Amino acid sequence: MREARLARHLGGIEAMLRGHHVSGTLGYALLLLHPLALAVDEALQDGGGGWAVLDPHGQGSAVQLGWLGLLLLMAGLGSTFSLHLRWRRWRAWHHLLGAGVVLGLVHVERLLGDPGLLWLLAAVATLALALRYLALDRGLMALPFRVAAVRHAAPQVVEATLEPLASALPLQPGQFVLLAFGDGPGFRGCGRFHPFTVSDIDARGRLRVAIKALGPCSTQAQALKPGTTVRLQGPFGTFLQDEVDRPDGHRGPWLWVAGGIGITPFIAVLRHAVPTRPLTLVYLVADPAPAAFADELRQIADRHPQLSLRMQGSRDAAADLPPLLDRVPDLARCQVRACGPAPLVQALRDALAARGLPADAVQAERFDFR
């Protein structure tokens, strides 16, 4: 459940995702052990014939429902590890997990006869699913905003200024929101909620989000017009919160590494306040000339000598990062933050490990919710 207050209480949405993945995988593993345990138990009782328990043919409908539920869970969890599936297809397959849980509950009820606490479990699950699909997916808990202005920050990147129509969001620089575009003048919204990092916040509750054309909805958003209605959920994320809350709390220098649109949380913090400690910002882009926020970053670096900006065109982070890291002063003491595609983050981890930095030296912002 992507709910902002619950996410903050549980240590952030990434901690929730890890808990979701671990508990789901462990639960699935226990379900796989369940029929095997039944077969072993039956074999110990009748002297070796217990494996017939694993054959659903000839067994009652209650047992067959259990097998069908397990097959649906297998298909749904299999899609979880299929990272190459497109988002919508992955999501459709992921819904099979819910159907498998429902069949599992019916399976248990048919076997036990007296459901007992099963009804309480079913009620809790129903309420949770209602919150997930109605309040979050359908946006019943979202706040209304309107697009006040749109500017093109780079080719295939727009930065939209959003003004609240009701309450403002309690945002911090570097956080992200879930955003669904409605209809507006000359623009038809895509309706689904997608994560976008906030690139700026002002005292009136207005915020800016940077949107790169990466999928159907973000490509459609390149034609965004002022006056378009927007619904927002959040805020989410704890990335860079140490820098926002305690900009001088870390005694060593900072190293920030951004890839492409991953520059967004860093520009949000720099617009808010530039840390007084030495800061090296490595910004890898496909083409440095039209890179998003390039001119603004240069201007900030000119005003703040403690900020060293190193922007470079890159097609292969694994090859381009090592020479850049070798030029970072006092690298061994740096606190490292990274935001960008997964290959860039992995290349950074590998390059730092080769230079003796521990694996936990890098804190990275995830780009997906799978």
Cβ(211)–Cβ(160) under 8 Å?
yes
254-266-2 Cα angle (round to 5):
115
DSSP-derived secondary structure for 266-320: HHHHHHH---SS-EEEEEEES-STT-TTHHHHHHHHHH-TTEEEEEEE-S-HHHH
- Its pTM stands at 0.79
Q: Are residues 133 and 181 in the same domain?
A: no
Residues 250, 228 within the same domain: no
In a domain, 370, yes or no: no
Among 209, 236, 263, the domain boundary falls at 236
pLDDT higher than 60, residue 247: no
Lowest-confidence region among 87-96, 200-209, 345-354: 87-96
For residue 185, name the pLDDT band (cuts at 50, 70, 90): confident
Q: What is the pLDDT of residues 136-167, one digit of tens each?
A: 777 778 899 999 999 998 888 999 999 999 88
Q: Which pLDDT band holds residue 83 (cuts at 50, 70, 90)?
A: low
Helix-helix angle 96-112:61-80, to 10 degrees = 160
Mean pLDDT score, 265-286: 89
Query: And the tokens for 122?
Result: 């079913």
Are residues 77 and 24 in contact, defined by beta-carbon separation less than 8 angstroms? yes
pLDDT value at 248 more than 60: no
CATH code (residue 220): 2.40.30.10
Of 137, 169, 185, the last residue of a domain is 137
Domain boundary residue, one of 236, 269, 298? 236
Taking CA atoms, 215 is separated from 88, 143, 189, 220, 342, in Å, by: 11, 24, 14, 8, 17
Domain of residue 223 covers 143-236
Number of domains into which the chain is organized: 3
Do 231 and 255 belong together in one domain? no
Contact 197, 340 (CB under 8 A): no
Regarding whether 181 and 125 lie in a shared domain, the answer is no
The whole-chain average pLDDT of the chain stands at 84
Same domain, 104 and 54: yes
254-259 vs 335-339, strand pairing mode: parallel
For residues 266 and 43, the model is more confident at 266
Together in a domain, 245 and 337: yes
Q: Is residue 346 part of a domain?
A: yes
Q: How many CA atoms lie within 13 A of 35 on its CB side?
A: 17
pLDDT for res 243: 64
Judge whether 112 lies within some domain. yes
Per-residue model confidence as pLDDT tens digits over 54-82: 777 777 888 888 889 988 988 888 877 77
